[in-house]
Amino acid sequence: MSYLNANVPPIYCKVRKEYLYDLKKHQGESSDCVIFGISSIPGRAILFNIMLSNGACFWRLPISAFFQKKYDRAKVPDMQVHELELWNSLSYYPSVTHFSFLEGKRGKYLGLDKKFYHGHYLFTIDWAHPDSNTLDVEHSEIPDEHKCAHILALDNGNYAAQPNNRILWRVTHYTTDNSWPDYEVQTTIWDSENKGLSTEDSNKMFYNVEYENK
């Protein structure tokens, strides 16, 4: 697990040029870039690190700064960061995983405007607290507060970062139920130990495990 910065699978795309000028000029223009990393700071949106075609690196841009390379900017809606990403980073310790089962899969997420936005899976960002000797003041390991962020390339040309409870995936051979789930938030901390069990006090490889006498 990385601290602050983490590698991501490279995304060759375009950046809305005004983000390179603190939103002060070059509105409506774009530049080629490649996203190669993220910065994770609690209380801030996921921030993406890029290289531009002139060799310059630019750090910590939000997901709303980017759109897919095959699109003309004039045809891609400018969406705000909170429309594309529901939650901020949950700790300084991100992990980035490309889940093979989700590779190439399409999904849809329910936006704030109550409309579905469709796209395909790229990779997943998740968070944790790495060291019990460091005070944990974040929410990444509280069951009912934890969220991951699946990065999607949307059909409208933008990218999005959405948690599990906003996305429904389409797996042709498996997902046959088209209803919107009514599941409840997971609040239980699951623990397989501390259940009143006692192990045999011996050097046996296959020792006995029994419930303690009450």
pLDDT in tens, 135-194: 888 888 787 788 999 999 999 999 999 999 999 999 888 888 888 888 888 888 878 887
How many Cα neighbours within 13 Å face the side chain of 104? 4
Q: In which element (H, E) is residue 81 found? A: helix 81-84
Q: Is the confidence at residue 13, as pLDDT, over 80?
A: yes
Smallest CA-to-CA distance from 116 within 170, 66, 183 is with 170
| Residue 23, amino acid | L
User: 14 is in which domain, residue-wise?
Assistant: 5-176+185-211
pLDDT of residue 143: 79
Beta strands 149-154 and 159-162: pairing type?
antiparallel
Per-residue DSSP letter, 163: -
Q: pTM for this structure? A: 0.89
The pLDDT-based confidence of 110 (bands split at 50, 70, 90) is: very high
C-beta separation of 164 from 148 below 8 A? yes
pLDDT of residue 89: 96
Smallest CA-to-CA distance from 96 within 148, 50, 53, 131 is with 148
- Max Cα distance, the chain (Å): 74
Per the structure, the count of domains in the chain is: 1
